[in-house]
Structure 1
Amino acid sequence: MTRTLDQVPELSNFAEEVRAWLSSMFAPRSAQSSRDKPDLAVFRNLSDEDELQLLNAVRDYRRRRFDAGYGAVTLAVEHGGRGLPASFASAIAQAERDFEVPPSTELISVTTGLVGPAVAMFGTEEQRIAYANPLLRTDLLACQLFSEPGAGSDLAALSCRGVREGNEWVFNGQKVWSSGARFADLGMLLARTDPDLPKHKGITAFLISLDAPGVEIRPIRQMSGGSSFNEVFLQNVRVSDSMRLGEVGQGWKVANATLAFERTASGSVTRKKGGSVAELVELAQSLGMADDPLVRQNIADVYIRSELRAATADRVARAAAAGKSPGPAASVGKLMASDVLGRIGEIAADLLGNNITADIDHDQFAWTEHLLGSPGYRLAGGTDQIQRNIIGERVLGLPPEPRENRDQPWSQRDKR
């Protein structure tokens, strides 16, 4: 069933409804509480105990939000959502900023924003019943098992093998940069199931249980201090064919849809990562440098870029509201988001000088986590170089990069 226009509530009424619901559970967020513990990290640095405590708090909230009808508002009605425009999800996120709602994590975002919708979109009826709602409600948590040491930017070059044996698949390979994997129940896996087809056509998507025999998860320590990323090793891991997402060989289609969700989320103005322009202005004022012409010029430049990013995210939201794919606009938003984060970090480092590396003031030292984390955002959700290729080819109409092996069987990739 398709939701008709007269079933879509007024956005202002919806926002008021959300705020009233939030106020029944949480106190308003005060400016003072935000200043007490500034969170400027792009990727959090938490112990396993603190990570679990945060996950439990977020999951408790997300379950209540889902049960109240605010958990999957943009997902199509036929896939278990409310079929509302993306602006309604933005209204929820905006309202949450004004209340003491538990902050989300990468694993929660991947579970509810990427894997859950992908299962709802490509899964069988049995998979949707067993996994889609539990993922969207965070009863189950899931990570992505996409990137590999030899297949990051060129994801289609992945080599993790899936071999069918009767009604099971046997997987061998390695995945990397999987956010929250050691706390997840499931992994959304891309595997090479037919090496004799061209690289984009021989890939299939699966859900796998991360406590299955043969799965080993190792945390990766980041230079910003945290270890939210993981590498995952698969050795003779057996998975039933009932866990396959989509048809055999349809994995690239599933991956593209999931990555479009990720790029849209990465470029969204409703998702705070690191320090903001407003916090940068506060830093300049606290240091007595807000009247310096060069400082003002640099902050004005990044403010303009931040506003352009917001406008681009709004374009993506309006396209989604009209039922259109975000397409290359999602890549523009992702590229602009990582650019703004990087520039904010550079300006903060210029303002603080040597103090950015010395814990003399917690408010100032918090910028170190932003500075060290922002380069990683140029990789998350597709590297900046890949986003530029997409924009150049699909928006500007520039000649594509040479892909001489595109139609060659993957098994022949090293042969001349």
Structure 2
Amino acid sequence: MSHASTLEEWASGANGWLAGHLPARSDEGFEWGIGDDGTPVFHNLPHADEAKLIERSAAWQRQKYDAGYGALSLPEEHGGAGLPGEYERTFAMLESRYQAPPTPELVGVTVGLIAPTIARFGADEQRSRWLAPMLRADLLACQLFSEPEAGSDLANVRLRAVREGDAWILTGQKVWTSGAQFAHVGELIARTDPAVPKHRGMTAFVVPMDAPGVDIRPLRQMSGGTSFNEVFFNDVRIPDSDRLGDVGDGWRVALTTLGFERGHSGRRKVGGTWRYLWELAERTGGLEDPVKRQSVARAYTAHRLLELLGDRVAKAHAAGDAPGPAGSLRKVFWVDQLRAFSETSQDLLGERLAFDHGEWGAYGWSEHVLGAPGFRIAGGSDEIQRNIIGERVLGLPAEPRTDKGPMNS
């Protein structure tokens, strides 16, 4: 039997399973004036409601995992199905036809970023301890990378990890950590040797978020929610068995996680959709105004470029290619689309965007406008991504750097 035939039969079975567990999505998927007209980029929910949303998503992930669809491309020895990447891509396409629960960032980070990183760098005992619970969303993991003085410059992290026998003492702060208040553990990058060039003095850990000395403080966003957090580590003691990878190899671990993150950029359905924006243009007369029509055209161009690049990245993933600079391209294109949708919605709505007067499909776009700038820094700022593209894709000379020496120089 040919590989294509095998995939076709497998897809038929997967579709049957989905049909037995979820209601089908209508062909249109969107109808003007029906349902919630909000366009949140980040969740703006009260704590209890966000917890319920995360649990709904985790429950659906458990169903998929138990049925063999939750980790399709990971090797079987790591808790996956061991199938080629094209099976994962096919399942995602099939799932999009059904009304699956939305995937909050915490669940997506756990399953799509941190679990694959542990599969790649974890010791056998760590894989046994963490992988299956993460892939099943029983154990939720956040990403503890950014710091107040080291936003997108990950190599500049200053949170210290000092070894004491078979333990490490963590002292410092992380910030902009999505979902920390709901996470069970976090993947953390710490400075373990300040006397060497900074890329070489970092080590990765998986830290229990309820360990003594961990202080999680939610940050309220201008859009209203508290998805982000600052996390303080006050002499937090963890065993060496929670170290991920070799001592001093944290930079490579972090780059792997970030590669997965950038590869996922553009997959999450956040903010307003193209269909929603197009209908807004039609209903506000924007297509009859040459200036507004040009704004709509720019938004469509950004949307279509992201679709085409996403298809290219998905095919590379299906072929087994590791995350690379294409993830940075996808992240930049995703941000471009979010920004283009923001600008077009403002062009179409004007002052109606600034005040809620009860009109469906108007003030709801304010959530997109307020939230979209956040993704310019999430997963590495635009500037960092463009440097990666320039150096690794275009082969341009690296920017002059004066900070490649030891951290204490």
Report TM bin, short chain. Answer: over 0.9
1:57 Cα shift? Answer: 1.2
Q: Does 1:377 align with 2:375?
A: yes
1:102 Cα shift? Answer: 1.2
2:168 equivalent in structure 1: 169
Among 381, 391, 394, the residue aligned to 2:392:
394
13 and 239 in structure 1: CA distance in 2 versus 1, 3 angstrom threshold: same
Q: 2: distance between equivalents of 1:187 and 1:7?
A: 39
Give the alignment's TM-score, normalised by structure 1: 0.93
Q: 2: distance between equivalents of 1:137 and 1:94?
A: 20
2:348 equivalent in structure 1: 351
Q: Does 1:21 align with 2:20?
A: no
Q: Is the 8 A contact 1:80 1:120 kept in 2?
A: no
Q: 2: distance between equivalents of 1:42 and 1:74?
A: 28
Among 323, 326, 332, the residue aligned to 1:326:
323
After superposing the two structures, state which structure 1 stretch, 5-14 or 130-139, moved more. Answer: 5-14
Q: SS of the residue aligned with 1:386?
A: helix
1:365 equivalent in structure 2: 363
1:404 Cα shift? Answer: 2.9
39 and 82 in structure 1: CA distance in 2 versus 1, 3 angstrom threshold: farther
Q: SS of the residue aligned with 1:411?
A: coil
Q: SS of the residue aligned with 1:233?
A: strand
Unaligned 5+ runs, structure 1: none
Q: Is the 8 A contact 2:281 2:296 kept in 1?
A: no
The residue correspondences of 1:9-408 to structure 2 (distance < 5 A) are 10-30=6-26, 31=29, 35-268=34-267, 271-360=268-357, 361-406=359-404, 408=405
Q: 2: distance between equivalents of 1:329 and 1:77?
A: 27
- Please tell me the residue identity of whatever aligns with 2:327: A
* 1:334-393 Cα shifts (integer Å, max 9, x gaps): 100001111111100111111111112243222111011100011111111001001111
* 1:76-118 Cα shifts (integer Å, max 9, x gaps): 3443323434443333333333322111101111111111111
Q: 2: distance between equivalents of 1:6 and 1:47?
A: 51
64 and 229 in structure 1: CA distance in 2 versus 1, 3 angstrom threshold: same
Q: 1: distance between equivalents of 2:36 and 2:216?
A: 31
Q: 1: distance between equivalents of 2:345 and 2:238?
A: 48
Q: 1: distance between equivalents of 2:58 and 2:296?
A: 37
Q: 2: distance between equivalents of 1:362 and 1:52?
A: 27
134 and 217 in structure 1: CA distance in 2 versus 1, 3 angstrom threshold: same
Q: 2: distance between equivalents of 1:218 and 1:9?
A: 52
1:226 Cα shift? Answer: 1.2
166 and 330 in structure 1: CA distance in 2 versus 1, 3 angstrom threshold: same
The number of aligned residues is 405
- Please tell me the residue identity of whatever aligns with 1:26: L
- Please tell me the residue identity of whatever aligns with 1:261: F
After superposing the two structures, state which structure 1 stretch, 395-404 or 95-104, moved more. Answer: 95-104
* 1:289-311 Cα shifts (integer Å, max 9, x gaps): 33333333322222222222222
1:6 Cα shift? Answer: 6.7
After superposing the two structures, state which structure 1 stretch, 236-245 or 52-61, moved more. Answer: 52-61
Q: 2: distance between equivalents of 1:197 and 1:109?
A: 34
RMSD: 1.9
1:286 Cα shift? Answer: 2.1
Q: Is the 8 A contact 1:267 1:335 kept in 2?
A: no
* Identity across the alignment (%): 50
1:278 Cα shift? Answer: 1.5
Q: 2: distance between equivalents of 1:62 and 1:18?
A: 15
328 and 349 in structure 1: CA distance in 2 versus 1, 3 angstrom threshold: same
Q: Is the 8 A contact 1:277 1:303 kept in 2?
A: yes
- Please tell me the residue identity of whatever aligns with 1:350: D
- Please tell me the residue identity of whatever aligns with 2:145: F
* 1:275-333 Cα shifts (integer Å, max 9, x gaps): 12221101112223333333333222222222222221222222222222231111111
Q: 2: distance between equivalents of 1:9 and 1:43?
A: 41
Q: Is the 8 A contact 1:191 1:205 kept in 2?
A: yes
Q: 2: distance between equivalents of 1:13 and 1:39?
A: 39
Q: Is the 8 A contact 1:281 1:290 kept in 2?
A: no
* 1:45-76 Cα shifts (integer Å, max 9, x gaps): 00111011111111111100011111111223
95 and 201 in structure 1: CA distance in 2 versus 1, 3 angstrom threshold: same
Q: SS of the residue aligned with 1:50?
A: helix
